[in-house]
Amino acid sequence: MRKSILVGVCLAALAPSAISTGAQAQNVEGRVGKLESEMRAVQRKVFPGGAGQMLQPEVRAPQSEQGPGPGSPATSALADVNQRVTSLEQQMTSLTEQIEQNQNRTRQLQDAFDNYRRSNDGRVKMLEAGPAPIAAGGPVESDDTSSSPARPSTRPETASRPAAAPAPTKVSVEKPSTGDPAEDEYMYGYRLWSAKQYPQAEAQLKKVVAEYPKSKRASYAQNLLGRAYLDEGKPSLASMAFYDNYKKMPDGERAPDSLLYLGQALTKLNKPADACKVYDELNDVYGAKMAAAMKGQVAAGRAAAKCK
């Protein structure tokens, strides 16, 4: 009888401890669930689109050949949960730092390009305005021959100047008609670009971007606009077109191409440091999706800009 009473007292004494341990485990499990949910949200932010790039916790369950002996407190499960919590907190910190670094890199790239764009706006406007008119009080050729040596009736520079080559005949470009307005307008701009009719192609491609901003062809048209400027020998305008495509349509199919050509345009403008930043951005943002051919072009661009 006395032995039964003693067992009952022992069980009563152990009951609060078991309840406390269970409550503590339940509380930790709640924390784990919350942390896992937050980590998935952060990873979706870091890896938009998924593509199977989710980080997995680097936690391994402790391997033990023998379980706890009789009478030992069952704390191994709680210790494992605490280890998971610690690992998740460390990964959350690492992901947060990665997001901040990417945002800082993008901000630096945008600031550098904004500064470059402001410094070139005035020069571009002057080029578009054409040569300045001659002042009214400027030198004028005199018709008085009494005080000047006789001049030949034909100016030497005029006589020696070769005859101007005839202007190339423009190839007639047919506009497609498939029933898809966005596709037809883009393909018309593409055909103009292929025929090297760059001013007409540029006007047509700007029209596509303005009238069909939600079409996938908007990214194609903005990128091809930059290429038309580049082929026409206008790297300043080309760099602006390429940067606008990446900034305004980063998920467009031609956004990676625009960063690649932006690096080439900046190299032509003697901006190798900015070109290297663009190539770094291209690798960071689209490196996992780039085809082998584009990776080769990036390597060639980095070599031309002498990137480290």
Between the CA of residue 61 and those of 32, 84, 90, what are the distances in Å?
Answer: 15, 9, 17
Q: What is the pLDDT of residue 16?
A: 52
Would you state the pLDDT for residue 188? 97
Rounded to 5°, angle at Cα 122 from 117 and 128: 110
Residue 197, token pair as written in the block: 């009719």
CA-based angle 156:158:160, to the nearest 5? Answer: 70
Residues present in the chain in total: 308
How much is the pTM?
0.50
pLDDT digits (tens, 9 = 90+) for 172-220: 899 999 999 999 999 999 999 999 999 999 999 999 999 999 999 999 9
How confident is the prediction along the chain (308 residues), in pLDDT tens digits per residue? 444 444 444 444 444 555 455 566 666 667 777 777 777 766 666 655 554 555 555 444 445 444 455 544 556 766 777 777 777 777 777 777 777 777 777 777 877 777 677 666 656 555 554 444 433 333 333 333 333 344 444 444 444 454 555 555 567 899 999 999 999 999 999 999 999 999 999 999 999 999 999 999 999 999 999 999 999 999 999 999 999 999 999 999 999 999 999 999 999 999 999 999 999 999 999 999 899 999 999 999 999 999 98
